[in-house]
Amino acid sequence: MTREETLKAIDEATTSHEYQMNKIKSLIEGSEIKEPPMVDKTKCQLGLWLYNEDNHIKEILGAQFFDNLEEAHARWHYEYSQIFDIYYKNRKKGFFSKLIGSDKIEDMEIDKAKLYHYDLISTSQNLFKSLAASKRRISAMGDSKFNY
């Protein structure tokens, strides 16, 4: 990847995760989300880029920056998975469940999701800081790092 492509990928990943956070906020506030964010950290836009060995991002960033970014990203997906489980995985959505109203999420579970969301906001800020630091590092690098 060129420097410009790498910087663009970071911008797109940041925008994508901001969009996902807005979707999660809407979910917490009671809206129905048709396409929830990906739980699998390798399937979201950042994950597709971060774990693509062809872009050599680990070599470009260096192990410490890459590991910090990967750790923040993995933590985001772990924390989000707790919210996902409440709203999607643990919910019964069969015809009879809807008929008798048992697909409703309990108030206690909604309260837990709100707490998880609060943690996710903090984790998102750390992820965005790692992305911004990576972007600054890439901007300051010499061109030789991008000759893959």
Residue 2: per-residue pLDDT: 85
Cα separation, 57 vs 92, in Å, equals 41
Mind listing the pLDDT tens digit for each residue in 13-40?
Answer: 999 999 999 999 999 999 989 899 999 9
Residue 28: per-residue pLDDT: 95
Residue 12: per-residue pLDDT: 95
Residue 54: per-residue pLDDT: 85
Residue 129: per-residue pLDDT: 96
Q: Which of 11-20, 48-57, 65-74 has the lowest mean pLDDT?
A: 48-57
Q: What are the tokens at 78?
A: 């772990």
Mind listing the pLDDT tens digit for each residue in 86-138?
Answer: 998 866 555 555 555 556 888 899 999 999 999 999 999 999 999 999 999 99
pTM for the model:
0.85
Contacts of 47 (CB under 8 A, 6+ apart): 38, 40, 41, 73, 77
Residue 100: per-residue pLDDT: 52
Domain boundaries, the chain: 3-146
Give the model's confidence band at 1: pLDDT under 50 very low, under 70 low, under 90 confident, else very high: confident
Residue 142: per-residue pLDDT: 86
Q: Give residue for tokens 């060995």.
A: 53
- Give 103-128 as a 3 state SS string: CCCCHHHHHHHHHHHHHHHHHHHHHH
